[in-house]
Amino acid sequence: MMHDRSIAELIAAVRAGETTPAALADHFLARIERLDPQLNALITATPERARAAAAIAPQTGSLAGLPILHKDIFCTKEVKTSCGSRMLDNFVAPYDATVVERLHGAGTVTLGKTNMDEFAMGSSNENSYYGPVKNPWNLDHVPGGSSGGSAAAVAAGLAPAATGTDTGGSIRQPAALCGVTGIKPTYGRVSRYGMIAFASSLDQGGCFARSAEDCAHVLGAMAGFDPRDSTSVERDVPDYVGGLSGDVAGLRIGLPREYFADGLEAESRAAIDAAIAQYEALGATIVWIDMPHTDLAVSTYYVIAPAEASSNLARYDGVRYGHRCDNPQDLDDLYTRSRAEGFGAEVQRRIMVGAYVLSAGYYDAYYVKAQKTRRLIAQDFQSAFESVDLIAAPVTQAPAFKLGEKADDPVSMYLNDVYTLPASLAGVPGMSVPAGFAHGLPVGLQLIAPWFEEARLLNAAHAYQQVTDWHTARPAGFE
């Protein structure tokens, strides 16, 4: 079936004239129509636009005719861009994000926009104004968040690839919980232009696909300097696909003790241990390392991210665009009611926390302190990478939890991010690679590389996928 083919195979089939972009678009659009009602992975499907685009898609671009889904955080010209929020339910973007523009330029055909936690705040996709996404491996469980719609869609074969964003784990964690491959590049590798801001010093675009090889194809087209993003880095993009030798002999892989401590569920741990043994069998050297500031990551992140969010979200004032309340009595009423109606509970909680930690009396005690601990966490990575080439760890402590299980307990939800936040705070690239199952649900192996070593990361994941087939498993009912 077309949805079981790799991206390289799909592109080759288009080039050879064995299939057409239109036939590919039709195949995946039909799956979306048939299967998405169970999952709620899409906020907006754009079948007419997709068919029109496929009809004129070039057969030559690096991703010619490849169907793709975009997280609804990326602005898409003339298409609703909600960011999972009632605030932007009526927002139709007037321009394409750089990521969307580049992928379009490479020949992809956009099938629609995926569901997400409101403004990318969440780890379960239960914070979306459009309702939760279901995990295709078990519909009673969460797909992870905030890019849960993209991860669930790829897992269910609704598209060969989807974009996502990762501020504190939102690509790696849903990729792990849905059993797909996901990569969060180095901060600055992928343009943030047109990617709706949550916490600007952390937000980074990336992608989901079934394999590392597929991700290499998509990331190569997304990445690169963009003068419209002041934190985008002017550095050449290597040939990620060409770099997939599958050879990891001699690679030094560090296992941080702090990521294997109490709290890691036993069956998940067994899957991670087996994956590490596999790397050893492939000739990698495994060493235990210390990253002593790991336990500061959750508190550091949950000061910095809300601080930046409270500032970024000040733009939603009910005046220029987005939700506006009915019959405002005066300007204050316009602001307060528009924002109270437009933002959900989690977003309001973060704005309040952020405003508090930035306020005159608490700025030094919380915000400045968090910036200092952030530096210590980054230094842990810097020193680790003096002795190892790559870090391997779990992505989450346990497989996907049940819908509703943590919904009323924000602190337990935040603690869920313990293994993904450090790499985000340091800005280093990270991946989640399917590495088996625990309690019938997927487990992800996290690989972390030094700054701008996405090629090393992708190759290490590719090597593992050459000798395992976890990434090819498909959930029952979505074959």
Q: Indicate whether 390 belongs to the interface with ligand GLN (CB under 6 A).
A: no
Mask: binding to ligand GLN, 400-439, rule CB under 6 A, as x and -? -----------------x----------------------
Q: Indicate whether 167 belongs to the interface with ligand GLN (CB under 6 A).
A: yes
Contacting ligand GLN (CB under 6 A), which of 85, 146, 312, 432? 146
What is the C-alpha to C-alpha distance for residues 157 and 10, in angstroms, rounded to an integer? 14
Mask: binding to ligand GLN, 300-339, rule CB under 6 A, as x and -? -----x----------------------------------
What is the C-alpha to C-alpha distance for residues 461 and 297, in angstroms, rounded to an integer? 25
Cβ pair 128, 39 in contact under 8 A:
no
Side chain identity at residue 119, one-letter code:
F
Cβ pair 119, 215 in contact under 8 A:
no
Mask: binding to ligand GLN, 194-233, rule CB under 6 A, as x and -? ----x-----------------------------------
Closest distance between ligand GLN and the C-beta of residue 368, in Å?
A: 21
- End-to-end Cα distance, the chain: 9
Assess whether 387 carries a catalytic annotation: no
3-state secondary structure of 479: coil
Which positions ≥6 away from 78 have C-beta within 8 Å? Answer: 92, 93
Active-site hit among 85, 123, 124, 170 = 170
Q: Indicate whether 168 belongs to the interface with ligand GLN (CB under 6 A).
A: yes
Mask: binding to ligand GLN, 50-69, rule CB under 6 A, as x and -? --------------------
Q: Indicate whether 144 belongs to the interface with ligand GLN (CB under 6 A).
A: no
Which positions ≥6 away from 262 have C-beta within 8 Å? Answer: none
User: Residue 135: which of 440, 472, 419, 368 has the closest Cα?
Assistant: 440
Pick the closer one to ligand GLN by CB: 198 or 385: 198
Closest distance between ligand GLN and the C-beta of residue 96, in Å?
A: 21
Beta bridge partners of 324: none
Assess whether 71 carries a catalytic annotation: yes
Paired sense of beta strands 204-209 and 441-448, if any = unpaired
Residue 110 has phi, psi (to 5 degrees) of -80, 125
By CB under 6 A, how many residues form the interface with ligand GLN?
A: 13
* DSSP, res 237: P
Pick the closer one to ligand GLN by CB: 87 or 121: 121
Contacting ligand GLN (CB under 6 A), which of 97, 121, 303, 445? 121
Contacting ligand GLN (CB under 6 A), which of 22, 64, 120, 428? 120
Give the residue nearest to ligand GLN (CB): 170
Residue linked to tokens 């002795």:
387
What is the C-alpha to C-alpha distance for residues 217 and 412, in angstroms, rounded to an integer? 36
Active-site hit among 146, 150, 191, 232 = 146
What is the C-alpha to C-alpha distance for residues 276 and 18, in angstroms, rounded to an integer? 40
Where are any strands of DSSP class E within 307-440?
390-394, 430-438
Enumerate the active-site residues: 71, 146, 170
Residues that bind ligand GLN (CB under 6 A): 120-123, 146, 166-170, 198, 305, 417
